[in-house]
Amino acid sequence: MTGATSGIGAEALKHFAKLPDTKVYVGVRGSGRIVPKGTEVLPLDLSSLKSVHSFADNIKQRLGNTKIDILVLNAGVQATDNKKRSEDGFELTFATNHLAHYLLARLFLPNLAKGGKIVITTSDSHDPAIIFFGPKTLATKELAYPNEDSPKGMRFYAATKLCNLLTARSLASINVEENRSVGVIAYNPGLTGDTSLMGKQSVFIKILLPVIILPLFYVISMFKPAFFMGTAKRSGEALAELALGKVTLPTDKIYASLVRGKLTFPNPSQLAQDNNTRDLLWKESAKMVGLPE
Ligand SMILES: NC(=O)c1ccc[n+]([C@@H]2O[C@H](COP(=O)([O-])OP(=O)(O)OC[C@H]3O[C@@H](n4cnc5c(N)ncnc54)[C@H](OP(=O)(O)O)[C@@H]3O)[C@@H](O)[C@H]2O)c1
């Protein structure tokens, strides 16, 4: 699992750690991280492809012939500008949210158990029909190497979340082609206020949050449910319900969206359903991480 140290992932991890006869491995950056008993922590910095490879090698060594039942790719950062770069020179949010998870999914695909599951956390901000700044086009190379005119802030973040959704669709289609019986779920936890993602906002937003933004969102959510502010507890619980198969998706659906605390199964955005966009992202990402198409 990635993204298990705070917010939605930390809440989901509580559910995984309680399972009997289950070994949970989490990839974390830095040291001294507190995780529930029985969870094994391994170093992983998603902003470095080298670190992603060594995390995958580490896990594979520990697993031997044992297969992975559930792979949860939940970590994420929110872009404030598009000027920061990863160790490999890619824009940091794109590298963390998309490229690292794309690589992890590909590296672990052969190790997944039949009937296993991959859950990738996306966001309804990928959909311009729901959130106005959602992407209407996708230019992968521009996300990797943005220029002055490229999307910034939440627009940029939303594009990386579209990448998560398209990657989930690619994995689902490989699964069908190769008859692997691995379930793939792209999960939108919806607006979740009490996570570090929000905490990493600018001081200006932090001051406005309790006095203006939250009350405003509450009013707007009466008409537009996507603006409902959920809790990390419920968003994490819903992630665990999906991963553990306590809630199952209707046949042929891969997108699960938490709306007002309830799991729903809408179609993703039009662009997310476009197979050319999906296949192009897969190919361009493969080149960027140095894997065959
Ligand atoms: N909160 C929302 O409103 C919302 C809405 C829709 C979708 N989401 C998605 O939900 C997921 C979880 O977000 P959250 O709200 O729970 O945020 P969060 O509390 O900030 O958690 C993010 C997690 O990602 C990890 N992470 C970030 N960069 C990393 C890196 N370079 N290497 C390894 N781990 C890294 C963080 O680890 P550290 O502890 O080291 O920082 C943390 O565990 C994300 O994919 C986010 O895009 C959130």
3-state secondary structure the chain: CECCCCHHHHHHHHHHHCCCCCCEEEEECCCCCCCCCCEEEEECCCCCHHHHHHHHHHHHHHHCCCCEEEEEECCCCCCCCCCCECCCCCEHHHHHHHHHHHHHHHHHHHHEEEEEEEEEECCHHHCCCCCCCCCCCCCHHHHHCCCCCCCCHHHHHHHHHHHHHHHHHHHHHHHHHCCCCCEEEEEECCCECCCHHHHCCCHHHHHHHHHHHHHHHHHHHCCCHHHCCECHHHHHHHHHHHHCCCCCCCCCCCEEEEECCEEECCCCCCHHHCHHHHHHHHHHHHHHHCCCC
CA of 65 to the centre of ligand 1 (A): 30
CA of 157 to the centre of ligand 1 (A): 12
Per-residue pLDDT tens digits for 15-70: 999 999 999 999 999 888 889 998 999 999 999 999 999 999 999 999 999 999 99
Per-residue pLDDT tens digits for 110-169: 999 999 999 999 999 999 999 999 999 999 999 999 999 999 999 999 999 999 999 999
- Predicted confidence band of residue 199 (pLDDT cuts 50, 70, 90): low
With a 6 A CB cut-off, is 192 part of the ligand 1 pocket?
A: yes
CA of 14 to the centre of ligand 1 (A): 16
Domain extents in the chain: 7-289
Confidence (pTM):
0.95
- CATH code for the structural domain at 7-289: 3.40.50.720
Per-residue pLDDT tens digits for 227-284: 898 999 999 999 999 999 999 999 999 999 999 999 999 999 999 999 999 999 999 9
Nearest protein Cα to ligand 1, atom 39 = 5
